[in-house]
Amino acid sequence: MKAICFNFEIHQPMRLKRYRFFDIGNDHYYYDDFLNDEIVTRVAHNSYIPAAETLLRMIDATKGAFRCSISISGVALEQLEQYVPEFIDLLKKLADTGAVEFLAVPYAHSLASLTDPDEFANQVKVECDKLHSLLGVKPKVLHNTELIYDDEIAAQVLAMGFKGVLTEGAKHILGWKSPDYVYSAASAPKLRLLLKNDKLSDDIAARFSDTSWDQYPLTADKYMNWVASTPADEQVVNLCLNLETFGGFHPANTGIFQFLEALPRFAAEKGVEFRTPSQVLSVLKPVGELSVMHPISGADEARDVSAWLGNSLQNEAFNKLYSVAERVRLCDDRRLKQDWYYLQGSDHLYYMSTKHFSDGAAHSMFSPYETPYQAFTNYMNVLADFIVRVEEQYPLSIENEELNSLLTTIRNQATEIETLNKELASMRKNIEQFNVEHALRQAPEAKEEKAPAGKAKAAKPARKATTKKATKK
């Protein structure tokens, strides 16, 4: 039976305040709290909350037959916990239904997978821990930042223990192949790949309210006809949508929520079911291997990583940021590590894109800056102050290898001291035990020594009496 595998993505970056050159070294707080509060609250009430309530009604109306997955960055979770805690309650309700799977993502929505395997693994682990503590779920499938993927990342994902990864069904990678199958990674054959169906995803995400589109208006009946009419052997259609599509990019008055809620009814009529990513991977076997030599993503027409690393500004910022990665991971400063996550957000680099034409319009639409150069200048000022703080703890004059060697020695000494302290504590305990046992053994001996002495004193009068008696005779 043909199935739809829905994935709804949620992410909100920590937007930076205007940070001047003269603030470097003087102001260590980088964020525009008012702007972040305003945007997150507005998006949550216009989009996230009504969308989540719609999903809950769909699950209830179908008695759990409607299923989907959600990917939410740790940075977004932090802001939603702070500004819109009622949405977190809705996420908990969705998790409790058992019909919604939560996927793992890098905590900071970063590009760490492209340059720093240790940081990538660490962020995914922190994200999984956050989801488990907050929602009681353990992700089994990974959704990397903006669907970024290549053969090197596949090996890393498999080593982390995931059974599958969601990525882009890029035409230049697939060629004549269809995205509507399960594939295995060429570099890690045990890892399964779920590929986004671009056309059917964009029919909702990009074209739903476009009155110039030749298929406008899009209805649930029409959409399910398209899904059902795909070749019979293509068993799964992976749809990846930003949750903000519903009520955000397409306002509620376009009928987007009614469209979403009507999908299960028409899907049942067409014999189409809904599955979570893990369900798809447990039912379907891969039809072949897929090799991706260079990173792909779900952004822009090129479907590569040029949206974040396509010009010299972006590469300068990217390389400067990750030049201090090892030092930040070694420190214990909670505030410094928090800033490290926030500054890794891919959005900061996205704002620096100088792409033109249709892609340029998309980049500028999401940016809080007037120009990419303003975005670069502001970010580099913040990064300069951040690096000063890192250098205060671990000077950059010390090479990474030398620093690692010194820190390894310090850790080994700390471990040795801890071991010696444990041995000392154990010896003290043994001595105390010995003293107690020795005291117990000495007590009976003392009693025995006292007893004969008492008998001897009692015998003396008897001997005297005998002597007197003999004398009398």
Q: CA neighbours within 13 Å on the CB side: how many for 174? A: 21
Q: Report yes or no: 75 and 341 within 8 Å, Cβ to Cβ.
A: yes
For 206, left (φ over 0), alpha (ψ -120 to 50), or beta?
alpha
Among residues 9, 119, 146, 244, the one annotated as catalytic is 146
Residues facing residue 192 across a β-bridge: 164, 184
* Radius of gyration (C-alpha) of the chain in whole angstroms: 34
Which residues are CB-neighbours of 239 under 8 A, at least 6 positions away?
4, 5, 6, 7, 196, 197, 200, 201, 204
Distance, C-alpha 286 to centroid of its chain: 26
Residues facing residue 101 across a β-bridge: 69
Residues facing residue 100 across a β-bridge: 68
Does the active-site annotation cover 146?
A: yes
Q: Kindly state the tokens that stand for 366.
A: 């999401």
Residue 39, judged by CB atoms within 10 A of its CB (0-12, 13-18, 19+), counts as: middle
Q: Kindly state the tokens that stand for 92.
A: 């908990």
Q: Report yes or no: 189 and 289 within 8 Å, Cβ to Cβ.
A: yes
* DSSP code for 164: E
Among residues 81, 152, 58, 69, the alpha carbon closest in space to that of 105 is found at 69
Which residues are CB-neighbours of 445 under 8 A, at least 6 positions away?
none
Active site residues: 146
